[in-house]
A and B are shown apart, each in its own frame.
Chain A
Amino acid sequence: MKVVDIRGVSYGYGQNLVLKDVSLAVEKGDALALIGPNGAGKTTLVKLLLGLGRPVAGEIKLFGTAVEKFRDWSRVGYIPQKAIAFDKRFPVTVEEVVLAGRFGRLGLGRRPGKEDHRAVEEALAAVDMLPYKQNLLGRLSGGQQQRVFIARALAGRPQLLVLDEPVAGLDAPALEGFYALLARLNREQGLTIMIVSHDTGAVARWVNRVACLNQTLLYYGEPEQLLSGESLTALYGAPVRLVAHTGRL
């Protein structure tokens, strides 16, 4: 079953197209990494996918429904770019942040109930943040904050998790733990994941699909073939040598 189906999508103004005729699909249970240089259109594609903009050509379907008509947003969890760059003075507890992940499901004016609080506890437990439930979000480390945002996305019990460059600001050990958590959610819970990343080598170790984007789609397939082929050179416009790292400097 296609969770995401992007067909011939273009976006931009006049001649200045940020995306040109991009087509790709994400199957149920896939973990797809969307990679590419700065300005490649990765975030734009994610925003179009989330209904935050409309393509000038082509169509995008979520769970088989055109994104303009899609209403069941609780099936999609989203962690935006610079999620942890929020206003640290905002007085909000971990529990309050994660509870917001249920609001789309609840509907206007309805108060969260027992089921919602149970979902919050489950989501926090899944990211090992349950002991921090009553802590102020702004006082946690960057890695812990990122886990809280994942919990918020998980609290709505989504079937698709979309992450837009979620690792900015994380140090190497936090990064490693973060990727391990995503791999576990994908493997154990069957969660479909679409992650935008610059960290090609690290992401490619746990995803089963990679899409290379630089305005057009340059590669779409298994990560092993990408890393051994010449697509990376085409992607970045210069010879690329991959340096493996384990998250420890």
Chain B
Amino acid sequence: MLALFQYDFMLRALLAGLAVGCVCPAVGVFLVLRRYSFLAETLAHVSLAGLAIGLLLGILPFAATFFTALIAAVAVEILRARENLYNDALLALAMSGGLALAVVLFSYSQKLGVDAMGYLFGSILTLTPGDLWLITAVAALVLAAVAFLYKELYFISFDEECARVAGLPVHKINFVFIFLVAGTVSVAVRVVGALLVGALMVIPVLIALLLAGSFGQAFRYAVGTGVAVTLAGLIASYYLGTASGGTIVLLAVALFVLVLAGSRIKGLLQRR
């Protein structure tokens, strides 16, 4: 087991996994409870287009991903508010539009010798020290913002109208939250890949919701589960020789099924 830690690439992967496993559910809790889970999935797909633009123009992939995700999220929010259109349909529009743009742009980037697979499914084992710093710094910033706005984000998620009447700057906080989601997606794409980011933001939260007896517990359980499945998935993928992103998400799905079955059995026993 300890042999794992003698490789620099594996240490970097574990540290990045710790950061992403922590930040994804910390933001995901508010997305799920606001029934906005699909936003993470959409932004992850849109971020692929950002990656492709970044690769073609020689822009730092994180910056390209972040700004593309941010622009898409803000555009969806504006269209939803001003045009009175259905939110889920707008998210589907952004997702398919982003993915289509990414496919077209990646066909160009392949001519430049760029492999899209690493961005689709993650490539945590190839992180450079610079990548690790960036991921850690962004995750720390997002976590600090979530900690600072924790009570406000909770109140808005539970009862937005009353939060507004209480004098909270709901519009501004919602805008900051979009930044946080875009930042989280941008760093998580590097670790688990665009196709699996949504899973890491949602599945730990679903597991936590099955177990929690309060909002505080739901938040803590979600973050704990996110960290646990990410680290365990990374270690498992190292020994099994499987793709890290897929292994992490499969482990999270397996844990969800296990917890769901456990809670059902507990419910049946309590009824007897």
Which chain A residues have a beta carbon within 8 Å of chain B's beta carbons? 50-52, 71, 73-74, 76, 78, 80, 86-87, 89-93, 96-97, 100-101, 103-104, 106, 108-109, 111-112, 134, 136, 152, 156
Contact = CB atoms under 8 A, between A and B. Distances in A.
B33 interface: yes
A93 B213 contact: yes
Given A71-B167, A100-B155, A108-B149, A93 B162 contact: no
A100 B213 contact: no
Given A91-B209, A109-B148, A109-B149, A96 B165 contact: no
12 contacts: A73-B166, A74-B167, A76-B165, A80-B161, A86-B158, A90-B215, A91-B214, A92-B214, A96-B154, A100-B163, A106-B151, A108-B169
Main secondary structure of the interface of B (DSSP, over half): helix
Contacts of A89: 209
Interface of B: 33, 148-149, 151-152, 154-155, 157-159, 161-169, 209, 212-218
Given A90-B33, A96-B216, A109-B148, A104 B168 contact: yes
A236 to B, nearest CB: 28
A91 B212 contact: yes
A134 B216 CA distance: 12
Nearest to A99: B151
Contacts of A104: 166-168
Contact of A90 (B158, B163, B216): B158
B218 A103 contact: no
Nearest to B173: A108
B154 A100 contact: yes
Given A93-B213, A97-B158, A78 B165 contact: yes
B144 to A, nearest CB: 11
B165 A50 contact: yes
A9 B52 CA distance: 55
Contacts of A134: 213-214
Nearest to A80: B161
Contact of A73 (B149, B167, B217): B167
Contacts of A156: 166
Contacts of B168: 103-104, 108
A16 B167 CA distance: 30
